[in-house]
Structure formats: C-alpha cells, structure tokens
Amino acid sequence: MEPRNLYFNIALVILFITIIPYLFLALFSVPAGDDFVQASNALEKGVFGYVKWRYFNWNGRYTSDFIIAFYNILGNKISQYFLIKFFFIVPLSLLSCYVGANYFFLKILFKNNQIRFNIIYALIATISIISNTLISQSVFWLAGGTAYGLASSLFIISFAITIYTLYLSQNYSFLFFINALIISFINGLSETIMVVNTTFIIVISILNIVIFSRAYPRRFSLKNVSYSVIVLISALIVYMAPGNANRSSGYAQRGDIVLSLGMSIHSTFDHVFKWINPFWICLFVLGLFISCKLPNNRIKNLVENRKILTIIFTSLVASLYMSYFVRWYSTGHEGVLRADTVSYTIFFIITVILSICLGVSLNSNNLVSYVKTERVFLFAITTFCCLSIAINYPQLKNDFQILKRHYEYYQTNYSLAIKAKSGSNIELLPEPRAKILRYSDDYWGYLQNDKQHPINKGFARYFNLNSVMVLDQRLDNGNDKQ
C-alpha cells in the first residue's frame, strides 16, 4: 500500500471513531416537547394549511414549517406514531447534511473529485461544527435542526456555488439556477440565516458591481442582480409575515439600534476569540494540507486575485457580524444559543478559505515537502480528534449516564399514551432531563404539571387524548436539579 493511501485510511478510521458517539446518541434520541405540538398541528391542518397557519400566526419560516409538516405527514402515512418510532432519522439526517454539504463544498468550488479525500474533509468539518456549537438544539431537535442545522449546511453549499458561478464560471450553468432555489430556500428556514444569507449576497453583489463593473461583461452584472433580487424577495416574504408580531410579543422589548450595533461588535469579537483555540489551530493546519491536494490552477485564480479575496472575506465578515446584530436588535440580548451554529459556520468558512489560500501560497513557493505534509496531516488529524473528544467528553459522559433511563422513560410513556382510550386523561411520572437530547428551556422542552400547558396539550392531541400532565415537574437525575 502506498504511504499516501495508508495515511488516508488511518485518518478515516480516526475520524469515524470520533464521530461514533454522536451517532450512538442519535439512535436513542426522542422528540422535544414542541415537536409534538408541531406534529399534531401539521396532521390536523395538512402541509400547506400548516405553513399558512404558521405564517399568519407565528413566523415567516415558510421552508422550515414546510419541512416539519411534510416530515410528519409523510411519516404518519408510513407508520402511525412515526415521530416517536423513527425520531433517530432527524439527528442522523442533520449530521449527514453537514457531511454532504462540506463534501460538495470541495467538489463544487475547487472541482476536487477525490472521493476519499473529500470524505476526510467533510468529516473534519462536521466534527469541527458539532464540537463548537449547541447540538442539543441544532441536531437533536427537529424544529431547531431545520432552522439552524440544515440552514448552516445549505449556506455552505450556497457559498460554494455563489463563488463558483460569479468568478469561475463564464456561463449560466445549471448550478446558477440550483443556487437561486437554494437561496430562497435558505431564507425561509429562520430569521438569523435569512439576515446572514441576505447580507452575504447583497454585500458581495454591491462590491462586485463597484469594483468590477468595467472589467466584467454584462452577464456578470446580471448574475449579481439576479441573486440580489431573489434574496431580497424571499427575505421580504419572511419579514412581512403577519405572524411575526405574535412571536415577537414574547420578547420583553426590541433592542435599541445604536446599542445593538455596539453589542453586536462585542459579541462577534467575544465569540471569535473563544473559537480561536488549539482546536482551531489544528483545523487551520488541516486547511494548509488540503490546499496541497486540490487542483492548483483553479485555486490560484482566486488566491492571486486580491480583489476577489477581499470581496469574499468582506462579505463573510459582514454576515458574521449581522448574525449577532439581528439577535440583539430583535430581542434586546444575544439571543438563543442555537443561533451560534450559523455564526460558527461562517467563521468556519472563513478559516478554511484563509488556510487554503495561505497553503497555496506556501506550496507554490515549494515551502512544503510531500512526505512531511502527509505526516503533519496525520498528526493534525489525530490531535484534532483528541481535542474534539476532550472538549465534548464531560457532556458526552453525562449523556451516556442518563441516556438509558431517559429513553426507557419515554418508551414506557409512549406505550401508555398509545394504549390509553381516546379522549382519556393520563398522568405521567416526571421526566429525566437529558440536555443533549432536549431543548433545555422548561417552557418548550418538557412536559409540565399543568395539563393546559401548550406542550402538554400538543402531546395530548398527538395521541388523541383529552389531557396529559406529570405528577411533579421536579426531578433530580444526578445532573439537573430543577
């Protein structure tokens, strides 16, 4: 076996071992409280009826609401109580989306067709994202996963296609029309990704027109205009949703715009400094290695054009900043932690592009030898995975300790709910609280001791019951004393 193939095979084994714990947790995950609320409403109203009802009564997330309704209705046709029987599909699908998005990132942007190498990069990227974000709310939760996990994956693909179609393709390729659909699709997933996606497209389009208006043909400007029109129309559809007023009424007050501008800068720098850690250094080193294995001429076109690089990084930085501004301005505080998934994804893209560009420059000057690069790559992979395990071990250890009891609790209560007569009232024991699998906030995450609570009512409707309540909301499970 060639040394290169040996290094790659060892790297794949190490990466698969690192991601196995998350796959194990996915197999034992269960729906969150509001997953039952949304499922019962979707089954009652139908796909488009549910999307319309949410648009006029709660928010403008037309894509996210469509996916949730479609998933529940299709699943219910496959098997009754599909949501509880096959919920592991949700986290496994979202993890697969991360892997797939990063795989196609290299394939689309740099035309790299080395399948094994692309898989290695995709696994590295996925481990990096799930190790630095709140996966309990962006992977192990259907509503949060579509709004932030899926949104981040699609933004990675859209970024690659946008750069490719604007700077590396001379014609209106099939990818251009695919990206037009993805852009409008992304904006309907959540308000945070809508603002981020819109900022990225608008900033990159404006800078392109200002800097390259005389140097590029008319079709280049038409691509910019097309992307801008699509992203603005879809953003307005979300922004103008009548249901936004009801949803925003749940927040104490809207943030002051001047204060929001300042606090957004603070939040951006604060998180960036947290993300620049030993884990990030390993990721950067891996980016240097990746640059040596990609088609060199293709990357050189980007690296040697400082104007294009300036436009790309400016657009990404503006998007990162706006991911915090939208939360400060709309809620008066930094917002929900799950939205950091989108912010970190942008930071991750910046890191990868920066390291690849630097690696190409070093490689073009023959500063990196082949043998040493392979060995450094394997060392960086090993260190990367060890850091990932070290960072997540305390939480994973806790999750494994309470996972079995949590899973068995719900399997028992699901059986009771299914066997209960239609329209009956049932009482359940308190719920163990596994934060990796559940939304940690009391209001939306868990069944309550109030049968009129929205979560309890949604749970009851899903199982065709009159009411459901727990005997006592408090339970000490060795981890979380409520």
Same domain, 362 and 446: no
pLDDT higher than threshold 90 for residue 105: yes
Q: Note the pLDDT tens digit of each residue in 337-396.
A: 677 899 999 999 999 999 888 887 776 555 554 445 667 777 778 888 887 777 776 666
pLDDT tens-place string over residues 120-174: 889 989 988 888 887 777 888 898 899 999 999 999 999 999 998 888 876 667 8
Asked whether residue 73 is domain-assigned, the answer is no
Average pLDDT over residues 265-278: 88
Q: Is residue 45 part of a domain?
A: no
Instruction: Report the percentage of the chain scoring pLDDT > 90.
Output: 32
Name the phi and psi angles at 65, rounded to 5.
-65, -35
User: Residues 421, 314: one domain?
Assistant: no
The answer on 280 and 227 residing in a single domain is: yes
403 plus 360 within the same structural domain:
no
* Range 47-73 average pLDDT: 94
Same domain, 333 and 407: no
Do residues 19 and 108 both lie within one domain?
no
The answer to whether residues 200 and 300 belong to one domain is yes
Full domain range(s) for residue 438: 1-30+398-482
Domain contains 41: no
Domain count, the chain: 2
Same domain, 472 and 334: no
Q: How confident is the model at residue 402 (pLDDT cuts 50, 70, 90)?
A: low
Last residue of a domain, one of 348, 368, 388: 368
Q: Which of 268, 286, 281 is nearest to 356 (CA)?
A: 286
Residues contacting 355, CB < 8 A, separation 6+:
283, 284, 285, 286, 287, 288, 290, 291
Q: Are residues 111 and 3 in the same domain?
A: no
Together in a domain, 298 and 336 = yes
Among 349, 368, 387, the domain boundary falls at: 368
**pLDDT band at residue 472 using 50, 70 and 90 as cut-offs:** low
Instruction: Say if residues 432 and 405 touch (Cβ distance below 8 Å).
Output: yes
Q: Provide the pairing of β-strand 425-428 with 467-470.
A: parallel
At residue 340, the 3 state secondary structure works out as helix
pLDDT > 60? residue 205: yes
Q: Which residue has the higher pLDDT, 449 or 104?
A: 104
Is residue 177 located within the same domain as residue 312?
yes
d(CA 72, CA 243): 22
- Residue 294's SS3 state is coil
pLDDT at site 329: 80
Read off the pTM: 0.90
Q: Is pLDDT of 257 > 90?
A: no
User: 473 and 344, same structural domain?
Assistant: no
Residue 284 covered by a domain:
yes
- 469: which strand partners? 427
Q: Which of 328, 350, 368 is the last residue of a domain?
A: 368
| Cβ(414)–Cβ(81) below 8 Å | yes
